[in-house]
Amino acid sequence: MYARRGFTSVFAATTLAIMLGLGLVACGSSSSTGGTGSSGGGDLRIGIHLSIDSLNPFVAVQTSSIAVFEYIYPALVQYNTSLSIVPDFATSWSESPNGLLWTFHTRPHAKWSDGRPLTASDAAWTIDTALKDGTGGAAEFAGYVAGVKSATATTSDTLVVRMAAPQAAFLANIRQMPILPEHVWSKYATGKEGAGLRTYPNQPSSGHEVVSGGPFVCTQYQHLGVALFERNPVFYGPEPKIAGFGIQYFTSPDAELLALKNGQIDAVWDVPPSGASSLRADNSIVVHSQLGLNAHDFIFNDYSKQTTDPELALPTVHLAFDYAINRPEIIKDAFDGYAQPASSPILAPTGRWHDPAIESPPFNLAKANQLLDQAGFKNGSNGIRVADGHPMAYTVVLAADELGAGSAAFQIIQTDFQKIGVRLTLDSVDDATAAGLELAPSTKFHIGMWGWTPPPDPNFMLNTYTCSQWGGWSETGFCDSTYDHLYNEEAAETNPAKRLQMVYKMEELLAQKLPEIIYVDADWIDAWNNKWTGFGETPQGFFTPLTTMGLLNVHQL
Amino acid sequence: MSTVPVIATPTESAPTGPDQTSRAGKPLGALRRRPAALVGCAIVLAFVIVAIIAPVIEPFSTVNPSGTVYAPPSLHHLLGTNNAGIDMLSLLIQGTRISLLVGFCAAVVAGLIGGSVGLISGYFGGAADVILMRLTDFFLVVPPIPLMIAIAAVWGPSLWHIILVIGLLLWTSTARVIRAQAKSVKERGFVKRAQSLGQRRSRVMVRHVLPHVAPLLLANVVLIIALSIFYETALDFLGLGDPTAVSWGTIIQTAFLQTAITDGAWWAIVPAGVAVALVIIGCYLFGQGIEEALNPRLRGAHVLVRPWKLRPLVGRGPDAT
Amino acid sequence: MRGVDYAVRRGLLALVTIFVVLTFNFVLFRTLPGSVVTDMSRIPNATPAFREAIAHEFGLDKSKWDQYVIYLRQLAHGNLGVSYANEQPVASNLRTDIANTVPMVSLGTLVAVVLGTVTGVLAAWRRRTAVDHISTGVALAFYSFPTQWLGLMLVLLFGAYLPTTGMHDPFLVNPTAWQRFMDALRHMILPSATIALTLYGQYTLIVRSAVLETLGEDYVLTARAKGLKPSIVLRRHVLRNAMLPIVTLIALSLGYIVGGAILVETVFTWPGIGLAVYQAVNERDYPMLQGAFLLLTCSVVIFNYLADLIYFKLDPRITK
């Protein structure tokens, strides 16, 4: 009797104590305001689900990290929200008529956040380091200085860049390069080919911020956690309206959208289509979507030595498959309507670079069947066509990036392809494995599904189809001498009108051969609490390496 | 999650005695007296039946949408729809197949390995015993989920890889149980007689010891089914399962990745978890019931992984206070 | 002395196991496909020379045996290698990660132990009554729910009231130490609760069994027959005996603490060792994986050894 009562009462007391404690904790404690910062303007809290992998520009590969560099480091030029190149650290520039000399006038009297002068020499040092160690520690910067021979600061605000050959995309390339403080980084340019550059963590520690030159300074960084930024008081450009911002990493879009709804964060970059509809129903949240630079592709292995399925290299087969891809249904069901049909890899938001004459074929199973019949691939016993003695049954490698909308698109494509006598099976792998399987020249895959978020200048995407990108960006293994010839001409063509014609010609060639089918260009969706406004939206959202204008004008209403 | 599995592992506490023969041969009778075990058996059987007749009882297609995105439960769609407008109840029924398949197969793999290791180790003793037990010890210390992640990543996310991985990690407790049982059976009269008749030891092991070890092995396998399903959902959640296969684990994962919570679609998450729990509970009750029926003195000792007896610190003998 | 002999024997065993684990660790992760080199080459305008440079930097161009020897030598110096993802020493990455995981998982385990013991004793004491059935039933249910599902349920139910992401709110304005503490605690509640709920069911069942077995013993019946108050019987005999499996369980669980949190940390974006492992697998970050795995496995070996010693201390009469 006694024990039972005694015991049960202890039990009850403990439970009560725990509940009380929890209640106290849950109700107490100040909530974060995000509204009052150190000097007015407030702190913007942003949620992302792509982690910032490193603060060292020579090491980081994630788009989120590269966007961070755009905000903390100066660049010579940048894009505005209409994707035109506008001044940044360089106020004006000129190109010599033969395209071999570029002269930039940079901001006078600019400073780094630690008070040291920010001059054209820092730009020259960064470019030189990229050239010198471009096959070693600075390899990530090699693409930014493609075609550059040397860079010198003739005065503290004049930068002269000599080219080995004219580069049509030079401004677009150099735009991507963060200008680093020589006085901080030069001591790390040691080791074999500057391998030391990659070892510097470049992280804020107590009392020491990252030495920055852009509109913001990084004051705190936690891997897979939170990164905090404050306004840079000595920034050479227009002062941002917010006092600072923070980026919080979430493992899933659900978590970040929930946090947005609960007021724990203020804005979310890159909302998946499935979340957009429920956010729209919430009156306190603004959902912004626009056609993105966000291609999703269906990749063929065109490597000529890939002998097990040679039919997959035939343009007729590519075209037949293109007819069998139901873009309207994919857009409706897989992307919830947040996408547009695509054809050329040079997407519509690139502006004039997109060739309007190139259109994707309409969904037509009869036509697809006809093309395959004409190619001589007869139907086998179980409804699968036979090509060169083997059934047209392929494994599709789907990169983890594409899970969600991409895998839903696959299901639709798989069902439709059954009706043209082609069987597809899915092999879903993580990104690293997909990259390994699809690195051209490869015999390890037949069909793949992935995506591109290409920059506005067409040079990057066009480059991926060249023979020289084997072992680099090429997945298709496409290698065509006519195409390469066109590309080399285009890369050096400084006359914009002529260059445009060359780009169109390349797009047409790609449309004929179809090394990969770009089936949709997805919208870019961002969302924020309606207390905030002024987000500079681009086809890759407001937090992008393309421009600092994403956040510069953000303010509370 | 990677904590101590609730599995039987007695060592010296395995009972011996002449009445064991009869009891080992009459598990069903003992089972009938244990309602919990019967309930467990019924639950498992129910799910097995659902899995077998799945295509027949699914109300809608599991591939094509039959409703709007994240429609709440209604008379039309009893469990609502998922992010693609596909009926959740159909998905859940379909998922029974893969989940149970993985659970059973992985448990069979674990049972085969564990049973063999335990049988050989317990019967032969000596060097084989030492080596096999060291091997068991090694597998015991490896934290299961990180290893499963790594291996699933190595081999790729396919169903059979998952089955193998789970089976390769869960056999240790079975090995221990069977070893103890084999050791005790080895001392029995009929075994000693067979040995003295000059029969080859391996033959004696298979023909005489194995049948007396089999029921316990079966009980253990049932318990491992529960664990296998648990780990399978974990691997699915972390993206290492086959994403095209509809299993309870991938249902939960899809909900997580497709903003189910934000959309308030609790029906996309809750049923799958409940289903998993029911099967696990069923397996646990059933398996534990069989074990208790076979070895009543196992009750209490069987839930530890380490080979210790539960002896009273104070009590019988000279230490009694 | 038997005790020392036992300790040494088990200690040697632990060391051998650790060595096998080290080697197994190396073999496992070097056979992963999708080498990090290919993934890291997917940056704008990468050259083949760059890929070679990376491969060389991480010693991936050497023979497996050479890599193994280097690995062992580095381990001897406490060097767990350099993470591929952020080029920082694995050891320092892991130190931060573990420091983040331990408090959260410890809180959860503590709650689980207390809850499990209380419900287990209660269920055993009131065996076969409604209390027993409910306690055991609920325990079994929570034990059977998938961990990630429990986490998601907590998010679903309490996401509007409690933080569901991260360890603290970085935007607190000039917080006092107390506010900072309470904020951290608030963030820890849901993840720790998930751990506690998944763990405690097992403890309930085991404690219940242990207590039941003790209750049936002659000396307990004798004590009660002698007229000793049930509470004294409970405290002096039953609980002392139940301590053995409980303590063993705790020691064993501690070994798994740092490993068991992957699912929870993924649901709640808790930046600890679990999330780091998962991220490392996706990025094919060999050194991080090797380091984390080594740490987790060795901690289990060490805690198992401690459990051996504790058990021996509590019950010297075990024979092995």
Q: Do residues A180 and A120 both lie within one domain?
A: yes
Q: Tens of pLDDT along C260-286?
A: 588 899 899 999 988 988 788 777 677
Q: Tens of pLDDT along C280-297?
A: 877 767 778 778 888 888
- CB spacing of A29 vs C179 below 8 angstroms: yes
Query: A439 in a domain, yes or no?
Result: yes
- State the pLDDT confidence band at A8, using cuts at 50, 70 and 90: very low
Query: A4 in a domain, yes or no?
Result: no
Report the distance separating Cα C283 and Cα A526, nearest Å: 26
Q: Do residues A458 and A482 both lie within one domain?
A: yes
Report the distance separating Cα C208 and Cα C200, nearest Å: 12
Q: Do residues A372 and A448 both lie within one domain?
A: yes
Q: Tens of pLDDT along A508-529?
A: 999 999 999 999 999 999 999 9
Q: Do residues A358 and A261 both lie within one domain?
A: no
The pair of three-digit structure tokens given for residue B202, joined into one six-digit string = 């391996």
Q: Please tell me the predicted confidence (pLDDT) of residue A12.
A: 53
Last residue of a domain, one of A147, A163, A196: A196
Q: Tens of pLDDT along C237-249?
A: 666 666 777 777 7
Q: Please tell me the predicted confidence (pLDDT) of residue A4.
A: 42
Report the pLDDT averaged over residues C32-50: 51
Give every CB contact of residue A484 below 8 A, 6+ residues apart in sequence: A466, A467, A468
Q: Please tell me the predicted confidence (pLDDT) of residue B11.
A: 31
Structural domain boundaries, residue A282: 13-69+204-290+525-556
Residue A556 has pLDDT above 50, yes or no: yes
Q: Please tell me the predicted confidence (pLDDT) of residue A294.
A: 92
Q: Tens of pLDDT along B95-154?
A: 999 999 999 999 999 999 999 898 888 888 888 888 888 888 778 777 777 777 777 666
Taking the CA of residue B150 and the nearest CA in chain A, the distance in Å comes to 12
**H or E element in which residue B254 lies:** helix B248-257
For the ranges B1-10, C66-75, C146-155, C292-301, which has the lowest average pLDDT? B1-10
Q: Do residues A363 and A231 both lie within one domain?
A: no
Q: Does C103 touch chain A (CB under 8 A)?
A: no
Q: Tens of pLDDT along B25-79?
A: 455 666 667 788 888 889 999 999 999 998 888 888 877 777 777 888 888 888 8
Amino acid of residue A546? L
Query: A5 in a domain, yes or no?
Result: no
Query: A2 in a domain, yes or no?
Result: no
Closest CA to A362 of A419, A332, A333, A319: A319
For the ranges A3-7, A62-66, A252-256, A549-553, which has the lowest average pLDDT? A3-7
Q: Do residues A482 and A548 both lie within one domain?
A: no
Q: Do residues A515 and A552 both lie within one domain?
A: no
Do the beta carbons of residue A367 and residue A360 sit within 8 Å? no
Chain mean pLDDT for chain C: 79
Chain mean pLDDT for chain B: 76
- CB spacing of C170 vs A146 below 8 angstroms: no
- State the pLDDT confidence band at A34, using cuts at 50, 70 and 90: very low
Query: A213 in a domain, yes or no?
Result: yes
Taking the CA of residue C145 and the nearest CA in chain B, the distance in Å comes to 5
Q: Please tell me the predicted confidence (pLDDT) of residue A511.
A: 94
- State the pLDDT confidence band at C258, using cuts at 50, 70 and 90: low
**H or E element in which residue A254 lies:** helix A253-261
Residue A274 has pLDDT above 70, yes or no: yes
- State the pLDDT confidence band at C32, using cuts at 50, 70 and 90: low
For the ranges A249-263, B148-162, B252-266, which has the lowest average pLDDT? B148-162
Mutate one of A265, A270, A278 to test the B interface: name it (highest B CB count within 10 A).
A278
Q: What is the DSSP string of A211-244?
A: ---SSEEEEEE-TTSEEEEEE-TT-SSPPPSSSE
Q: Do residues A544 and A434 both lie within one domain?
A: no
3-state secondary structure (DSSP) of residue A288: strand
For the ranges A155-164, B116-125, B275-284, C45-54, which has the lowest average pLDDT? C45-54
Structural domain boundaries, residue C239: 2-32+80-314
Residue A180 has pLDDT above 90, yes or no: yes
- State the pLDDT confidence band at C150, using cuts at 50, 70 and 90: very high
- State the pLDDT confidence band at C51, using cuts at 50, 70 and 90: low
Domain CATH for A39:
3.40.190.10
- State the pLDDT confidence band at C252, using cuts at 50, 70 and 90: low
Q: Please tell me the predicted confidence (pLDDT) of residue A465.
A: 93
Closest CA to A65 of A54, A49, A78: A54
Q: Please tell me the predicted confidence (pLDDT) of residue C145.
A: 92
Residue C197 has pLDDT above 60, yes or no: yes
Q: Do residues A367 and A512 both lie within one domain?
A: yes
| pTM listed for this prediction | 0.82
**Chain C residues near residue A136 by CB distance under 8 angstroms:** 50, 53
For the ranges A489-493, B188-192, B228-232, which has the lowest average pLDDT? B188-192
Sign, Cα dihedral of A468, A57, C282, A296: negative
Q: Please tell me the predicted confidence (pLDDT) of residue B297.
A: 54
- B146 closest CB neighbour out of C206, C219, C277: C277
Interface of C with B in 156-175 (CB under 8 A): 156, 159
Residue C303 has pLDDT above 50, yes or no: yes
Q: Please tell me the predicted confidence (pLDDT) of residue B25.
A: 46
Q: Please tell me the predicted confidence (pLDDT) of residue A28.
A: 44
Query: C126 in a domain, yes or no?
Result: yes
Q: Please tell me the predicted confidence (pLDDT) of residue A288.
A: 95
- CB spacing of B257 vs A430 below 8 angstroms: no
Residue A418 has pLDDT above 60, yes or no: yes
Q: Does C119 touch chain B (CB under 8 A)?
A: no
Long-range contact set of residues B13-22: C-beta below 8 Å, sequence gap at least 24: B13/B180, B13/B297, B13/B298, B13/B301, B13/B309, B13/B310, B14/B180, B14/B181, B14/B183, B14/B184, B14/B295, B14/B298, B15/B184, B15/B295, B15/B296, B15/B297, B16/B184, B16/B187, B16/B188, B20/B188, B21/B188, B21/B212
Residue B309 has pLDDT above 60, yes or no: no
Q: Which residue on chain A is closest to C126 by alpha carbon? A: A4
- CB spacing of A473 vs C155 below 8 angstroms: no
Residue ranges of the alpha helices (H) in chain C? Answer: 2-30, 36-40, 48-57, 64-76, 90-125, 130-144, 147-158, 177-215, 218-225, 230-232, 240-257, 262-268, 273-283, 286-314
Q: Do residues A98 and A143 both lie within one domain?
A: yes
**Chain B residues near residue C212 by CB distance under 8 angstroms:** 299-300
- CB spacing of C48 vs A472 below 8 angstroms: yes
Q: Please tell me the predicted confidence (pLDDT) of residue C33.
A: 53
Chain mean pLDDT for chain A: 87
Report the pLDDT averaged over residues C37-64: 60
Query: A7 in a domain, yes or no?
Result: no
Q: Tens of pLDDT along B193-241?
A: 877 787 777 777 788 788 888 888 888 898 889 888 988 888 888 877 7
Sign, Cα dihedral of B154, B159, B161, B162: positive
Q: Does C148 touch chain B (CB under 8 A)?
A: yes
Report the distance separating Cα B210 and Cα B129, nearest Å: 17
Q: Do residues A395 and A467 both lie within one domain?
A: yes
Report the pLDDT averaged over residues A491-500: 90
φ and ψ of A226, to 5 deg: -120, 145
**Buried-exposed string B28-44: b where 16+ CB fall within 10 A, e elsewhere:** eebbeebebbeebbebb
Residue A402 has pLDDT above 60, yes or no: yes
- A439 closest CB neighbour out of C38, C271, C283: C38
Report the distance separating Cα B239 and Cα A428, nearest Å: 9
- Overall number of domains in chain A: 3
Residue A336 has pLDDT above 60, yes or no: yes
Residues belonging to chain B = 321
Query: C53 in a domain, yes or no?
Result: no
- CB spacing of B238 vs C219 below 8 angstroms: no
Q: Does B108 touch chain C (CB under 8 A)?
A: no
Q: Please tell me the predicted confidence (pLDDT) of residue C45.
A: 43
DSSP annotation of C238: I
The pair of three-digit structure tokens given for residue B306, joined into one six-digit string = 């380490």
Q: What is the DSSP string of C243-312?
A: HHHHHHHHHHHHHHHTTTTHHHHHHHT--SHHHHHHHHHHHT-HHHHHHHHHHHHHHHHHHHHHHHHHHH
- State the pLDDT confidence band at A23, using cuts at 50, 70 and 90: low
- CB spacing of C38 vs A228 below 8 angstroms: no
- Comparing B183 with B153, the larger pLDDT belongs to B183
Q: Please tell me the predicted confidence (pLDDT) of residue A21.
A: 56
Closest CA to C169 of A68, A42, A33, A65: A33
- Comparing A250 with A139, the larger pLDDT belongs to A250
For the ranges A13-17, B157-161, C194-198, which has the lowest average pLDDT? A13-17
Q: Do residues A481 and A543 both lie within one domain?
A: no
Query: C63 in a domain, yes or no?
Result: no
ipTM of the complex in this document: 0.80
Q: Please tell me the predicted confidence (pLDDT) of residue A178.
A: 95
**H or E element in which residue B108 lies:** helix B88-124
- Comparing C257 with B192, the larger pLDDT belongs to B192
- CB spacing of A7 vs C122 below 8 angstroms: yes
Q: Please tell me the predicted confidence (pLDDT) of residue A427.
A: 84
Q: Please tell me the predicted confidence (pLDDT) of residue A17.
A: 57
Residue B1 has pLDDT above 50, yes or no: no
Residue A414 has pLDDT above 70, yes or no: yes
Angle at A511 between CA A510 and CA A516, to 5 degrees: 70
Q: Please tell me the predicted confidence (pLDDT) of residue C246.
A: 73
Q: Tens of pLDDT along A305-316?
A: 767 888 888 899
Mutate one of A224, A256, A282, A470 to test the C interface: name it (highest C CB count within 10 A).
A224
φ and ψ of A105, to 5 deg: -105, 120
Domain CATH for C18:
1.10.3720.10
Do the beta carbons of residue A394 and residue A321 sit within 8 Å? no
Report the pLDDT averaged over residues A227-243: 93
Q: Please tell me the predicted confidence (pLDDT) of residue A468.
A: 85
Q: Please tell me the predicted confidence (pLDDT) of residue A422.
A: 93
Q: Please tell me the predicted confidence (pLDDT) of residue C72.
A: 85
Query: A61 in a domain, yes or no?
Result: yes
3-state secondary structure (DSSP) of residue A284: coil
Query: C73 in a domain, yes or no?
Result: no
Report the distance separating Cα A199 and Cα C7, nearest Å: 44
Q: Which residue on chain A is closest to C167 by alpha carbon? A: A225
Q: Tens of pLDDT along A345-373?
A: 999 999 999 999 999 899 999 999 999 99
**How many C-beta atoms surround the C-beta of residue B101 within 10 A?**
16
Q: Please tell me the predicted confidence (pLDDT) of residue A14.
A: 53
Taking the CA of residue A540 and the nearest CA in chain C, the distance in Å comes to 17
- State the pLDDT confidence band at B310, using cuts at 50, 70 and 90: very low
**Chain B residues near residue C304 by CB distance under 8 angstroms:** 140-141
Give the max Cα distance, chain C. Answer: 87
Residues belonging to chain C = 320
- Overall number of domains in chain C: 1
Report the distance separating Cα B180 and Cα B12, nearest Å: 7
Query: A64 in a domain, yes or no?
Result: yes
Q: Please tell me the predicted confidence (pLDDT) of residue A152.
A: 95
Do the beta carbons of residue A394 and residue A446 sit within 8 Å? yes
- State the pLDDT confidence band at B22, using cuts at 50, 70 and 90: very low
Query: C307 in a domain, yes or no?
Result: yes
Q: Does B262 touch chain A (CB under 8 A)?
A: yes
- Comparing A300 with A34, the larger pLDDT belongs to A300
Interface of C with A in 110-129 (CB under 8 A): 114, 118, 121-122, 125-126
**Chain B residues near residue C150 by CB distance under 8 angstroms:** 273
Instruction: State the chains in contact with B (3 or more Cβ–Cβ pairs under 8 Å).
Output: A, C
